[in-house]
Amino acid sequence: MRQMRIVGIDPGLQRTGYAVLRASAERPTDTPSLAEAGVFRFKSSLPVHDRLVELEQDLTALLARSQAQVVCVEKLYAHYAHPTTAIIMGHARGVILLVAARMGLRLIELPATEVKRAVTGNGHASKQQVQSTVQALLALPAPPSPTDVSDAIAIALTGIQRATPVPVSSGHA
């Protein structure tokens, strides 16, 4: 059976969460398996440009090692009260998009509300709801931690739904 390797990324410049899932290309409704998950940590004392270089190196190594085929990343959401956070997040996303494009990988961008809705059924679910749902869906012994990891897993799970073709019914009743 042909397997896809999908990487979910929760971008940040202090911590970037990542998750690598293996899923059946022929049977997308089968439960995927978690191959690897974690966070890239960056020292907040480093200048932003140095953290971006570290992110590029870490992500390139992850995508090569995992033999990823699809990269899923959260779309940028800018809250009017925190425009600086959105700008910094945009820098991290730019590196992620660049690395995926350079490696010739399929890229799927997902709004946070779509990810939460796909995983929990609620587009405004809390981080703890996402953690516990991801734990249950993948039968993990504990909730993925920190939340950057559970968010990355949720992003990858949602990406699987987008990356695999939906079976077409034959039209017979």
Q: Per the confidence metrics, is the pTM higher than 0.85? A: yes
The tokens for 116 are 């939460």
Task: For residues 77 and 64, give the distance between their C-alpha atoms in angstroms, rounded to a whole number.
Answer: 28
pLDDT per residue rounded down to tens, the chain (173 residues): 688 999 999 998 899 999 999 998 777 668 899 999 999 999 999 999 999 999 999 999 999 999 999 999 988 776 666 677 778 888 999 999 999 999 999 999 999 999 999 999 999 999 999 999 999 999 999 999 999 999 999 999 999 988 775 444 444 44
Under CATH, domain 3-163 is a member of which superfamily? Answer: Ribonuclease H-like superfamily/Ribonuclease H (3.30.420.10)
Tell me which residues are annotated as active site: 10, 74, 148
Q: Where are the domains of the chain?
A: 3-163
Query: Which among 121, 116, 117, 100 is positioned nearest to 150, based on CA atoms?
Result: 116
